[in-house]
Amino acid sequence: MDKLQIEGGVPLNGKIRISGAKNAALPIIAASLLTEEPVNISNSPHLHDVTTMIELLACLGVDVTLNEFMEVEIAARRLENYRAPYELVKTMRASFLVLGPLLARFGEAEVSLPGGCAIGSRPVDQHLKGLEAMGAEITVTEGYVCAKTSGRLVGCDIHMDLVTVGGTQNLMMAATLASGTTRLFNAACEPEIVDLADFLNALGAKVSGQGTSTIEIVGVPRLHGGAHTIMPDRVEAGTYLVAAAVTGGRVHLRDVAPKTLGAVLDKLQQAGAELTVGENWIELDMGGRRAKAVDIETSPYPGFPTDMQAQFMTLNALADGTSTITENIFENRFMHVHEMKRLGAEIELHGQSMAVVHGVDQLKAAPVMATDLRASSSLVLAALAAVGTTTIDRIYHIDRGYETIEEKLGSMGAKVRRVS
């Protein structure tokens, strides 16, 4: 099993290109099931999760071709089956997003209940409630969601009980081929929702209101082929900005979407970072200074993203002062705390939703283990700033969300190597 070895204490300095967003690519790849005509998707990141989604489509009988530039052509002309097996869905929660497209276009779907990172309860009840409201017959048998519909789904008003990104995406995709108009209330507002809507509209869908809490979809009889470029990954961008901040360094990000990073950039400025922002680039300069402690409270977009909480815990662990981190999205997202303590961080947990972080002058290298995707990135950041060489085990978590992380960090002067 691969590990990362990181010799810390080097201020990072360099330029990085930000990859396409995994959290946008996965639903867009799933949405390609909605049309029999070919679709071309560019700027898709070269990640294990993307490969898993492509494997899932191939398992269904979809024709998928991929070139060396990670440009994907998908043609779901006909399917061999409508079953998304446990073996694939268990490894990645986003696989569940094929449910809506399969049901809308083919009238049936059998999808395993999802897996993914063990960061807390993420039920799919809002997905199923919405599909049932549109006329689907749904049963859950032996760990599989079995859905059928006689004829087309029927548009309706759907009031979601909580904000759910996956639920919004699944229902939005299903509604594109429904009869009539569907309105999603209390919809997620994330930029990845907007990117999915842009892709659907490029195929002939009629989606409006994306980026707000009310999304309207006017169903059409069929979608056609088209092309789409995946948006930049705002979490990857935020992670590399924090990497420069914790090491007192400087980084220039290109091919990034600054407008999607408002809450993160605000907190970095509060921490003492100097930021310069252009249309598609961001530069952070810490000037060798130690960060100031900043309080963090996660909330749905446009609030502070839960996917950046662990990285800012690393920043606060080395900052001047004491901070409070409140996690409002997932109830089990402090699994990295015990590993951070192995590196010398002083963190107090107050239940499952609050952590108090007392900044220390330095962290010291130690062997640590990644527990989930974003927690693993916090350990990488801590290792970059720690004195000595840190070995991070179970880095397959990192590979799920960060494309060629050792190469990008190495280009900024980090001493990182992958070992078996």
Query: Residues with catalytic annotation?
Result: 117
Inter-helix orientation angle 165-175/22-31, to 10°: 30
- Are the C-beta atoms of residues 402 and 239 closer than 8 Å to each other? yes
Q: What are the residues whose beta carbons fall under 8 Å from the beta carbon of 298, sequence distance 6 or more?
A: 304, 305, 306, 309, 326, 327, 328, 329
What is the b/e burial string over 141-165, where b = at least 16 CB atoms within 10 angstroms of the residue's CB?
A: eeebbbbbbeebbbbeebebeebbb
Phi, psi of 389 (to 5 degrees): -110, 120
Q: How far out from the chain centre does Cα 216 lie?
A: 24
Q: Is the peptide bond before 27 cis (omega within 30 degrees of 0)?
A: no
* Tokens matching residue 23: 């959290």
The length of the chain is 420
Nearest to 134 by CA among 199, 96, 178: 178
Phi, psi of 159 (to 5 degrees): -100, 110
Q: What are the residues whose beta carbons fall under 8 Å from the beta carbon of 117, sequence distance 6 or more?
A: 93, 372, 373, 397
In DSSP terms, which residues pair with 366 in a beta bridge?
none
* Tokens matching residue 137: 């017959």
- Tokens 């409002």 label which residue? 328
Q: Is 297 left (phi over 0), alpha (psi -120 to 50) or beta?
A: beta
